[in-house]
Amino acid sequence: MNQQRALLVDVYSRPASWQRAATRIDGHALALIVGLLVLLASAGLLYLLQASAATELRFMLQERRAQEQALQEQIIHLRCQIALGQSISSLEPRAERLGLVDASPGDPLVLCYVPVPTPIPAQAERMRAPVELDRTLQELWRWLRARLQPAERLE
């Protein structure tokens, strides 16, 4: 066998990893393929970042709702304590500690006079407006009845 032919057979009989590519890839096509792979990888990374941020927000919202529920329960408990503190049975011992006693029937009473505010003329006119509106509605009702009565007579 010829030495050149033996070398050619030897080159082609090597494993595929050692062989040169049978076809060459254009530089533009290679850049396009690499660009698309980078774009897909960045899109996947963006999706994962968005999903993790949404999950984190969901956990924060759940914690806030639990805190809100605990605070609502605390508010209800405090309102009950305030209501108990304002009941007559709890006020009587406090009044006795302060030295307050029941008033006797012979003690003088002090009355306060609270003046009634006089209406301003603009308020007086607004107060008359519903009466005028009622008169207008009554006249409108009479007019409608008068118009509808001849129609009823024809039937």
Against a cut of 0.75, is the pTM above it?
no
| DSSP one-letter code for 102 | P
Q: How far is CA 146 from CA 24, 132, 136, 143, 152, in A?
A: 101, 21, 15, 5, 10
Q: Name the nearest CA neighbour of 58 among 72, 42, 47, 50.
A: 50
Which of 82, 106, 85, 105 lies closest to 94 in space, CA to CA? Answer: 85
What are 53-108's pLDDT values in tens digits?
Answer: 999 999 999 999 999 999 999 999 988 888 777 777 777 887 788 887 777 777 77
- What single string gives the DSSP state of each residue in 129-140? HHHHHHHHHHHH
- Those residues whose C-beta lies under 8 Å from the C-beta of residue 136, and which sit 6 or more positions away, are none
- Residues 3-16 have pLDDT tens digits of 555 555 555 555 55
